[in-house]
Amino acid sequence: MVQSIYQQELRDRQALAEERRNQQERDDVARVVGGLGGVVITPQTAIAEERERDNTLALIAGIHGGATITKPNTTIIGHPGAITNRLWTINTVNQVTRIQGVHFRCLDPKANNAVALVNIMAVSTVLFTACTFELGGVTMVAMVAMEATAKAIFSDCIFAGTQTAGNPVANAGAIGNAYIMGCSNKTTRIHMNATIISEV
């Protein structure tokens, strides 16, 4: 009896200590991002651009939904443990979007990102850095689908999971519109119309 009370008290203290560490991490992220004029996005918060341009959004650890990015010069930073499991659409006409460290995932064939994790619309440009694109149990057309005049650079990214059809990056435009640099492709599928600088 005494031992079980002691064990419960120990578990309660450990849970409280873990919650304090998590809160400290959230506070630290909020302080840094806030200092940059950015917005912290929690898993319960919709991913949305609040300003007309130059938005900075920081996704903290947890499962996030999809996003539609339309404003010029938006930067999205995924902190460790931040995973998105819904479709992202980038539609920034003649503008650049930077996405860093975001983990795009689809494990559900009925999810709205089961055809593509990310759609890049015409004349939009996206710079992906240190992102992970992951599939599991899904037959997908592309992890990243690019319309004919869209442009993208993938640097230090990981393409993971079993992809039995389609392409990790499917570029409908010229081969010079998509660059793969220093990435890892573990899908067994090849990119479509992409210039590969280095990939393992």
pLDDT tens by residue, 16-67: 777 777 666 656 655 555 555 679 899 988 999 999 999 999 999 999 999 9
| Same domain as 109, residue 17 | no
pLDDT tens by residue, 86-126: 999 999 989 999 999 999 999 888 888 888 999 999 999 99
- Residue 148 structural domain: 38-199
12 phi, psi to nearest 5 deg: -60, -45
| Same domain as 129, residue 118 | yes
Q: Is residue 164 classed exposed, middle or buried when 0-12, 13-18 and 19+ CB atoms within 10 A define those classes? A: exposed
Could you give the number of structural domains in the chain?
2
Query: Looking at 108-117, 148-157, 165-174, which range is the least confident one?
Result: 108-117
Of residues 171 and 23, more confidence is placed in: 171
Could you tell me the pTM of the whole model?
0.82
Alpha-carbon distance 47 to 92, whole Å? Answer: 15
| Same domain as 55, residue 138 | yes
Q: Specify the amino acid at residue 66.
A: G
**Span 130-155, average pLDDT:** 92
| Same domain as 157, residue 124 | yes
- Residues 112 and 87: beta-carbon distance below 8 Å: yes
| Same domain as 25, residue 85 | no
